[in-house]
Structure formats: structure tokens, C-alpha cells
Structure 1
Amino acid sequence: MTKRIILIIFCFGLFWQVLSAEQSDNQKPNILIIMADDCTHSDLPLYGGQNVKTPHIDQLASQGMTFNNAYVTMSMCVPCRAELYTGLQPVSSGVCWNHAIARTETKSIVHYLGDMDYRVGIAGKVHADPRSVYPFEMLKGVEGNCVSETAKYDSAGLKEFMAGDEEQPFCLVTALVVPHIPWTVGDLSHFNPKELKLPPYLADNKETRTEFAKYLAEVEVLDQQVGETLALLEELDIAENTIVIFTSEQGAQLPFCKWTNWNNGVHTGFVVRWPGKVESGVRSDALIQYNDVLPTLLDALGSKTKAEFDGSSFVSVLLGEKDSHRDYAYFMHNNVPEGPAYPIRSVTDGKYHYIRNLSPENLYIERHLMARMPLNKYWPSWVFDASDDPEILDLVTRYQKRPAEELYNLVDDPNEMKNLSNQKEVSGIQKKLSKELDKWLKEQGDPGAGLDTYEELQNARKGNHFKALND
């Protein structure tokens, strides 16, 4: 009798374990996306940065997969966020300029996950219009103004949203405003400008070192806020059932970074932690772009949507089933409204990066970086010092006067200091990438320089995307 009772108890316990496991497997994971704002990926220790410590970002990476080759299509806030939220590249969504709105028929992550019974909220910087395309639940507590001189962060609103309904999973975008200019927060005493190791694309003078130290102080604050956000998952005991994505967005508001197609502009930091699915502490060389993220999340959740995206799922990379994803990543830049028209298109295969400047006869001008004093004190010092410093003169010249074509070896020259364009030994590579770029422009319906006008931007803001071109 005793043995029979023991056997019944054992079988019941085994049945309960199996049932609990099935329920756990069927439970949809939460999603937490943490975005930096204008953080050059190569300044993070995770990608070789030597000037600032980011222990929380590093710890997250030790628990998941770090992507070495992740990119945005446009190195500007509004277009890259539209790409992330819609799975579409700029011409498809209509967001081909900074501060442009998406086509009203566009669907975003809010719609797709909402159809799967997810609560989808955003805290901090939004920079996504119109509201009908991005109907996020708006959360308070995180600074939303990227040009504020503060970086307010109160986790109470995030915690309340996360804990809101245990039966309904959530997707939360925590869009931080650091280290977007103005660089006014953080502890400057942690950084000695004279001892900083400046990247080679920055002019080495007092003003640059001073401003770079301020920027690094904000990167340190970024890491602190990442840590506070991740701690909420542990506090609520939901970390094991939450997919976490950290991304650094585009490069900082420094020459050769944001508002360019150069590597330090379009290359983004990207880490994914998915407990029980993604191996801890691994790195991937797979080529991915922001428009791949939404299809990947939907695939991970078992969505059966028939929506068409420009991107595609890299779940197989996350699960360790494949080492590669896309063959090429593509980039574009329309300088309007950040300055006079200066259209750029480019493509990379992960090793070589081919850039085509569509109006090389023009002088490149970015009014925020060059003219908005006192936010940018370094650029005037570059111009002044160029008079008697040939290295600084070369940087100023390279930034403003660009050739029709550029080609860089990203493996040997990640900061893209040596243009290999038209060199005999790489002529075949240049021709191949140029042909691939032409193919992409045709597939996207991208007319090139014709988009980079104030008329097209104004039409798009009215919802008449590409009206002048169609007329």
C-alpha cells in the first residue's frame, strides 16, 4: 500500500512538472528594447573603446550575443527608429529625412505585437510620427527631450508597466536620451581630457578633448541607466522570460559619425539576451540591419503574419543554427533639413564598404554640427587650427569635400581613413559593390539625388511622399 501511494505521488509530481514545463514553453516572452541616443559603437568597450567603462552593458553582453556587424540604414534619429519599429527601409516607409513622418498606411511593432495580445509601451524619446503608425502606450519617468540639459530617469513608471498584467506579455522600448548633445550630464571628474585616446578621425586639440570628455561622461550615464532598467527585470523576477535588446543607435554628433554613411555613423552596437535560447557570452559576425529586428521578434514569437518587410528574421543566428544572415547592408543619407542637399548612398558586404556621393561637386555642410554654438565648440577650433596643422586641415577637407566614390576595408581600416577607390587591386570589389548598390536603388525605387530636396521633405510632412517626383 505504501509503495502504491509513493508511486502515485511520484507520477503526479512528474505529471505536474511536465505540465508546468509546457505552460512555461507556451508562455510568450516579454521584450525589452533599450536604445541609446547618438552613441558611436566603437566608443563602447564592447567594441574596443578605451576611454569609458560600461560594466552593465558588458555584463548584458556576457549573458547574450553581441553582433559585430549591425547597422542602421540612415544615421539620423527619426529614420533609424522608423526602420527599427516598422521593419522597412526609408523609401518603403517614406521616412527618408530627419523629422519626416511615415506613410499613414504603415504598420509598426505596436500593431504587430498588439495583434498577439502584447502591451506595447515606450518611455523616453519617441521621435516617431504619425501617432496612428506608432500608437505606443506613453510612459512617464524617462527624459524624452533629447536636447534637454538633464537626463531624468525614474524607473517607477517602467516598473509599473512591466508588472501591469502577469497574464499579458509586454514589449517595452526604453529610449534614453544619452549621450545625445548637449553633453551636460555625468561626472566629468572621471575623465582627464589630456589622457583620452582620441580616435584618428577627430582633430587632436584642446577643444576636441574637452568636448569628447563631456560626451564620454554621458556614455557613463547611459550605462548606469541601462543597469537600472535591467535591474527591474530581476526585481520583478521576469528576467528569465524576457528578450532584451540593447542598441547604441547611430554615431555621436561628431564629424565622420552621425549624419554620414561612414562606418562610425551607420554601424550600431547590438546585443541580444534571450535566456534559454541564446548562448551566453558569444559574438556573431552576421550582417544585420535595423529592418531585420521586427521580423526577427515576430519569428521568435511564432507570428504567422504575412506582412512584407524589407528585413528578414535572424532567429537562426540567435539560436546558433547559422553563422550568417544577409549578404549586404545598405545605407542612404539625405542631408535636408540638416543642411544643403548632399545625397549619399552606400553598401557593405561586411568587409568592404563602397560609398557613392551623388553630388560631389557640392560642399558638405551640417548646420547643427558646424554652426550651432555653443553646443559644438570643437568644429570652429578645427577650422582655426587647420591654418597651421596639416593633419587637421586634411580632416576638415575630407569632411567637407568628398570624392564621387569611396571604398574602405572595414577589417583593416574600421575608421575609414584610407580611401581605396579606383585602386587597381580592389577594382573588382568596387565594381561588384557598385553594381549591388544600383540593384538596391532600383528595388527600392530610390531616385537618388532627387529625394534630397526641401520640396520633397515638405511634401512628405504633409503625407504626400515623393509627390514632386511622381508628378
Structure 2
Amino acid sequence: MTSSRIDNRLTRRCLLRSTATGLAAVASGLAVRLPSGARAAEASQPSRKPNFVIIIADDMTYHDVGCWGNKDVRTPNLDRLAAQGMRLVNMFTPAPMCAPCRQALYTGLFPVRNGAHPNHSRVYDGVKSMPHHLRPLGYRVGLVGKTHFGPRESFPFEHPAAGAGKAAKGEGETRAGKTAKGGKKAKRAQGDESDAGGASAIAGAVGSGAAGAIRSFIARDKDQPFCLVVASNEPHGPWNLGDATVYDPAKLTLPPYLVDTPETRRALAAYYAEIEVFDRQVGQVMSILDQTGQADNTLVLVLSEQGSGWPHCKWTLYDAGIRVAAVARWPGRVKPGSTSQALMQYVDVLPTFLAAAGANPPDDLDGRSFLDALTGRADRCRETVFAVQTSRGIINGPEAYGIRCVRDARYKYILNLNHDAQFQNVVLKGDLFKSWQAKAAAGDTFARSQVDRYLRRPAVEFYDIQSDPHEMKDLSAEPSLEAERKRLRAQLDAWMKQQGDRGAATEMGAKERQKK
């Protein structure tokens, strides 16, 4: 790669709570570098290296989980996991689409820098991922389920569910639809990402065959540490799994950014039913860890991936698009029932695993370890998080509508690179959005507002997340916040420069990064 080295000023090390160095750093506003991975591990790790399991959903908005305060959806396994571990309530994906966010997760590099900023994309040749970093430390590194990455050489995961098509080999997006009840294939709604899945993407997603593959991978060699990614296809649309009849659409509480129509309520019931399917998959994986005797030495990280395919969620940089429901469980290391408020991103996961394994994370990664936040020795990791949305090349997408954002603990600055154009994607073709448009045409002012602000956006949006968590009131013209806007814009500009992000020019070249 020709990308420049990371500017460590932009990705700050965790601030230590109780050392003189840490206190001095807080006073001066400077970042403090954690002790090197080996020294930190010597002080905090048992002699046996921990195992790592990532369980990642597919298009699940962060607030649609019981332990995140949702009173309607039933997620007993996720709620139990949170009670046994830690909720990471300020985890963010750097992109609100499947391929960019996953490739950032596995490489520790932000999307533009690794080359995979559009959907259906591939990283630059030579980019390394989890297997390259963990295997030299003695780990087996496997993946079961959805891939959505490439090229194969950059993601050499072992695929325990081999034999399920191209995805089992580590590359290829070929799955036409999910398996519905009765074994029939359901056609994807328009906007099908053709997301690949080994073993039928965990057989919807942890069926008998895939569960056996997961079990055999985990139990194969109890003396060798492992890292396993279990990548579900739930609750990605079409929402045709689970029993939607258990949810009365009329009794559901809608998030404040959704327009209340019968179509919205029926869709929400179906979506919640499929979240239950993912929740059961989480329970199955945890049972396998228990049954194989590996649960106590395994750091489990459950991620909701990105926002679901609702308006104002996926394909946007609002929190409903990029904020993640993340739960970490690590018996004896992570305090049960705890919560971390530290800002962190998917690119930070790989460095955290390396630090937990006793290694020094490479300096050229964008991510930084949040191991101290997990173990309760730090309460801050990043001052800001960043994200990109590349709409060029998505189904029914605009020729170019790039979006960039920076967010700190309170404010978010969104830059719409081609704001004169109409934003569009596959959502506009669905019955749900059409029901919003019909309600707007009938004179409903809220429906009109939500339709208009989805299609047409200003050059800059600015939100106070603390007072307006669902980003309903744009403060980009508020005079009293001019200094805050300038501060965050300067940070966003510096980050884009460091990433090699040329804004509109990068957007127009996006199709060159998509798979051929």
C-alpha cells in the first residue's frame, strides 16, 4: 500500500485512570500510549493465551436489543450475555454497509485507507487481516458464515464449513436468498447485497451442520488458542425467519425517526422476529463454548454490525446507522453487568485481541487497543470516532453521494459531499417508504419532514447527541455552536487527509474498488 503511516494524534491511546502519567495527560489534553502489549499482558493476563470469538449480526440497529432498553424485542441470550459481561455502549462501525465495515473490522484499517470503502468491495493487494496477525502468535483463525470480503489472499481464514460454495474459500458474494421456513429459498428484497455465506450463512445461521463445524473447530485442539468469527445473516432482510405473530404491530413502540404507518409496524414486527433468530444463534454458540470447556478462557464479542435497512439507519451516518450494540464477555477479566462509555471503533478490535494475546499491535494500524477499557483500568480510549458512506455503486444508488462524519462524546459533524443531489437507495422502492410518502402527501407534517430530510440534506449537519440522541434537530445553523463545528470540521479534514480521502474525487473512483 502507498498509504501514509498513521498519525497517532488522530487515534489516541487509552487514558489511564490512576497513574501520574495518566493524570498529567488528562490535565494537558494529550494522549498517553499504553504500556506495550507484552508488558501490559504480563501484568494482566494469565499464562494461557485467551481464545477469541466474534459473533456478528447482519444489519441490526444498536437500540433493537433488550439490554439496550428496547422493551418490545425479545433477546434473552444477548441480555444474559450482557449480565455476564460488559456493554460497550459507544462502539461504532466506520461504515454503515456490510463489506466496508467487516473489512475494517478484520484489518484494523479504516475503509478508504484499506481500499474497501464502497459496498461489494475489496481491499488493496497486500493488506493483512486477523489471520496474518494472530497465526504467528500460535492461533487457529477461522470464520463460519458470511464473508463479504476480498481478495482471498488478504483474508486467509480457515473455513470450518468448507464445501458451501465460494464463500467457504473466503471470497465471493453468491447467496441469492435466505432459507425460509420449510426449506424454501426466499427471494431477497430489492437491495440484495448478495452476501455470501459458508454453510448457508450458518444455516440460518447456526443450523446443525454449521453448529457441528463450530464445535469441531473449537474442540479440535484444546492446547492451541483459537479465534473464530461466527458471521450470521440475521436479521438482514427479507425478514422471513422467526415468528412475527408473537409481536402485535399495534403495540410496538416506534423509534422517533420512523413514520407511523401500518407498513412500518408490520415490518418492525417481522424484523424483531428475525432478531430473535439471531439471539438464539448467540445462545447456541455460547452453549458450544460451555460444552467444550472453553467458555472461561474465551473473550466473546457480540456485534450488531451496523444499522438495519430502515430509512435513516443503514446507508447513513446517523447513530442508527453506525452505532453498534456490542457486548463483551470474558470470565474473570471483564466485570459482570458492567458498562463502558469509552468511544471505540471496529478498527480497534484487532489491536485489542493482539494486546490480550500478549503482542504489540503494529503501529501502522488505524485501530488502538481498548483492552484496558474491557478490564476496567481505563474509561477513555478515543476522543473521536469517524465514519464514511460511499453511495456510488450501491443498488439504486446515486452516481455520487459521499458522506463523512466525525463524532465525539457529545457532538456529531456530518459532511454531505454532494448535497445538491437527491440521496437515494433501494429503500425508496419499498412499500414502507412509499407509505411514508403517501402519508406526507396526505398532509402529515412529520411524515413530510422525515421524507424530505432523507432525500435532501444540507452540506453540513450538526447534532447534539446528548440532548438529541436520535438526531432529529439539525444545529448546523446555530450561532452558539460555531466554535464546536469548526473544531470538529478541522479534525474531520485532518483525518480525511491522513486517510488519503480526497472527498468527491474518492467517491467518483469508488467503482474501481468494487469486485470484478
Tell me how far apart the structure 2 counterparts of residues 42 and 410 of structure 1 sit (CA, whole Å). Answer: 15
| Structure 2 residue aligned with 1:302 | 358
| Distance in 1 separating the partners of 2:417 and 2:217 | 46
CA distances 1:253-303 after superposition (whole Å, capped 9, x unpaired): 000000111110000111111111111111011000000110011011111
Q: How does 1:331-370 map to 2 (within 5 A)?
A: 331-338=387-394, 339-340=397-398, 341-366=400-425, 368-370=426-428
Task: Report the residue type matching 1:118 in the other structure.
Answer: Y
Cα distance in 1 between the residues matched to 2:361 and 2:483: 40
Cα distance between partner residues in 1 of 2:378 and 2:46: 23
Paired letter, 2:154: V
C-alpha root-mean-square deviation of aligned residues, in Å? 1.8
Q: Is the 8 A contact 2:393 2:511 kept in 1?
A: no
What corresponds to 1:17 in structure 2?
none
Deviation at 1:25, TM superposition (A): 2.7
CA contact (8 A) 1:149 1:183 kept: no
- The answer to whether residue 502 in structure 2 is matched with residue 447 in structure 1 is yes
Query: Which residue number in structure 2 is paired with residue 250 of structure 1?
Result: 306
Give runs of aligned pairs for residues 161-200 of structure 1, distance below 5 A.
161-200=217-256
1:28 deviation in Å?
A: 1.2
Mapped partners of 2:218, 2:411: distance in 1: 42
Structure 1 pair 305–294 and aligned structure 2 pair: CA distance change class (3 A): closer
* Structure 1 residue 385: Cα displacement: 2.1
Identity among equivalent pairs (%): 41
Q: Which amino acid aligns with 1:66?
A: R
Cα distance between partner residues in 2 of 1:45 and 1:146: 31
The range that moved more, 243-252 or 303-312, is 303-312
Query: Contact 2:50 / 2:356 at 8 angstroms: preserved in 1?
Result: no
Alignment of 1:358-437 (within 5 A): 358-366=417-425, 368-371=426-429, 376-388=430-442, 389-437=444-492
One-letter identity of the residue aligned with 2:435: S
Distance 2:480 2:269 in 1: 40
Question: Which of 265, 281, 285 is 1:229 aligned to?
Answer: 285
CA contact (8 A) 2:120 2:515 kept: no
Q: CA deviation at 1:305?
A: 5.2
**C-alpha distance in 2 between matches for 1:254 and 1:212:** 10
Q: Does 1:134 align with 2:146?
A: no
Cα drift, residue 231 of structure 1: 0.7
- What is the aligned counterpart of 2:374 among 295, 307, 318? 318
- Whether 1:66 aligns to 2:125 is no
* 2:206 alignment partner in structure 1: 153
Decide whether aligned partners of structure 1 residues 422 and 113 sit closer, same or farther in structure 2, where only a CA change above 3 A counts. Answer: same
Q: Deviations over 1:105-161 (max 9, x none)?
A: 000001111111211111111111111000111132999748424424221111011
In 2, distance between residues paired with 1:52 and 1:94?
Answer: 36
Partner Cα distance (2:515, 2:437) in 1: 38
**TM-score under structure 2 length normalisation:** 0.81
Give the distance between the partners of 1:336 and 1:46, measured in 2 at CA.
Answer: 35
Distance change (3 Å), C-alpha of 1:121 and 1:279: same
Displacement of 1:307 in angstroms is: 5.1
Specify whether residues 395 and 323 from structure 1 end up closer, same or farther in structure 2 by C-alpha distance, changes over 3 A only.
Answer: same
Contact 1:334 1:451 in 2 (8 A): no
Larger Rg: 1
SS at match of 2:343: strand
> What amino acid sits opposite 1:139 in the alignment?
P
Separation in 1 of the partners of 2:177 and 2:282? 19
Letter in 1 for 2:178: S
Output the CA distance in 2 between the equivalents of 1:304 and 1:200. 44
User: Which amino acid in 2 is paired with 1:359?
Assistant: N
Q: What is the CA deviation profile of residues 44-92 of structure 1, one whole-angstrom value per residue up to 9, with x for unaligned ones?
A: 1222222202111011111111111110111000000011100000121
The aligned amino acid for 1:202 is L
In 2: Cα distance, 1:198 partner to 1:147 partner: 28
Measured against aligned partners, the alpha-carbon deviations of 1:326-361 in whole angstroms (never above 9, x if no partner) come to 000011111011211111111011211111111111
Matched-pair contact (CA < 8 Å) for 2:219–2:292: yes
For the structure 1 residues 147 and 411, does the alpha-carbon distance in structure 2 shift closer, same or farther, using more than 3 Å as the test?
farther
Distance 1:214 1:462 in 2: 32
Structure 2 CA distance for aligned equivalents of residues 146 and 176 of structure 1 = 15
Cα separation, 1, equivalents of 2:259 and 2:76: 28
SS of equivalent to 1:43: coil
Match of 1:458 in 2: 511
Q: Structure 1 CA distance, aligned partners of 2:451 and 2:339?
A: 35
Q: Once structures 1 and 2 are overlaid, which stretch shifts more, 314-323 or 31-40?
A: 314-323
CA distance in structure 1 between the aligned counterparts of 2:231 and 2:319, rounded to whole angstroms: 23
Question: Does structure 2 retain, via aligned residues, the 8 Å contact 1:441–1:447?
Answer: yes
Contact 1:147 1:180 in 2 (8 A): no
Matched residues in 1 for 2:176 and 2:63: separation? 21
> Whole-Å Cα distance in 1 between the matches of residues 118 and 205 of structure 2?
28
Corresponding pairs, count = 434
In structure 2, distance between residues paired with 1:203 and 1:451:
34
| Paired letter, 1:48 | G
Distance 1:116 1:219 in 2: 35
CA shift digits 1:179-236 (9 cap, x unpaired): 0011000011210011110111111001111111111100111111111111111111
Counterpart of 2:88, as a letter, is F
Q: Per the alignment, in what secondary structure is the counterpart of residue 156 of structure 1?
A: helix
**Contact 1:146–1:181 at 8 Å: present in 2 too?**
no
2:321 to 265, 275, 283: 265
Q: Is the 8 A contact 2:414 2:461 kept in 1?
A: yes
Q: Does 1:285 align with 2:341?
A: yes
Q: In the aligned structure 1, how far is the partner of 2:305 from the partner of 2:436?
A: 26
SS in 1 for 2:505: helix
**1:70 partner letter:** M
Task: Say which SS state the counterpart of residue 236 (structure 2) adopts.
Answer: coil
Unpaired runs of 5+ residues, structure 2, are: 1-44, 168-174, 181-203
Q: What is the 5 A alignment of 1:104-123?
A: 104-123=125-144
- Counterpart amino acid of residue 446 in structure 1: D
Could you tell me how far apart the structure 1 residues matched to 2:515 and 2:224 are?
37
